Structure 1
Amino acid sequence: MSAPIPTLGGTSKSRPATAKIQAIADKVKSQLEEKEKKKYPTFKATEYKSQVVAGTNYFIKVQVEDDDFVHLRVFESLPHENKALALHNYQTNKTKQDELDYF
């Protein structure tokens, strides 16, 4: 069963991270590490939301330590644009309980 596609502009409900979402997080990990000037030995996607725009925004909650999480906003362009995944924004110092919201 495929995941429901959110309406244009709105975010989907929060869902458990899949292998695809972990792969997206892994692809932008180095961008985050460069911006934060630190390495994340643990980088486990736990949940996500998506938003259809002219491409797709993924909001991904990633566990980086026991109770330390980061929220990522990753943009995936439309397939015909052939662009790399881009880390558009992120939030650090999050907990497991913090709601994954648009940012």
Structure 2
Amino acid sequence: MMAGGLSETKPATPEVQHIVNEVKQQFESRVNRTYGIFEAIVYKTQVVAGINYFIKVQVSDADYVHLRVFQSLPCENQGPSLVSFQTGKTRDDPLTYF
């Protein structure tokens, strides 16, 4: 994968679910609502000065959101941060750069 480009879509891993769990509270405070389901489904990555994760997350039986999460380089010792998100997505909506 070249720096700056998005990777192919990959199934979510336990590591990606951990990232989603860490930004759940940031997301819920920005949309002013809580979710019982918050499960990572698929993701793409973009290598920058760290990694941008584009993650499709299931939030109810039929509703999904797309999250853009920045994970800084390990030497910076910082947790993931929610950069942007898109709501109103479906299971079939492709993950794209946003």
With the shorter chain as reference, the TM-score category is over 0.9
For structure 2, list consecutive stretches of 5 or more residues without a partner in the other structure: none
Q: Which residue of 1 aligns with 2:95?
A: 100
Taking only aligned residues, the RMSD between alpha carbons, in angstroms, comes to 0.6
- Offset from partner CA, 1:6-52 (integer Å, 9 cap, x none): 21000000010010000000000000000000001000100000000
**Match for residue 64 of structure 1 among 50, 59, 64:** 59
Partner of 1:42: 37
Q: Report sequence identity in percent.
A: 53
How many residues of Structure 1 are paired with residues of Structure 2 in the alignment?
98
Q: Which amino acid aligns with 1:33?
A: E
Q: Which runs of 4+ in 1 moved over 6 A?
A: none
TM-score, with structure 1 as normaliser = 0.93
User: Scaled by the length of structure 2, what TM-score is found?
Assistant: 0.98
Other structure's SS at 1:99 match? coil
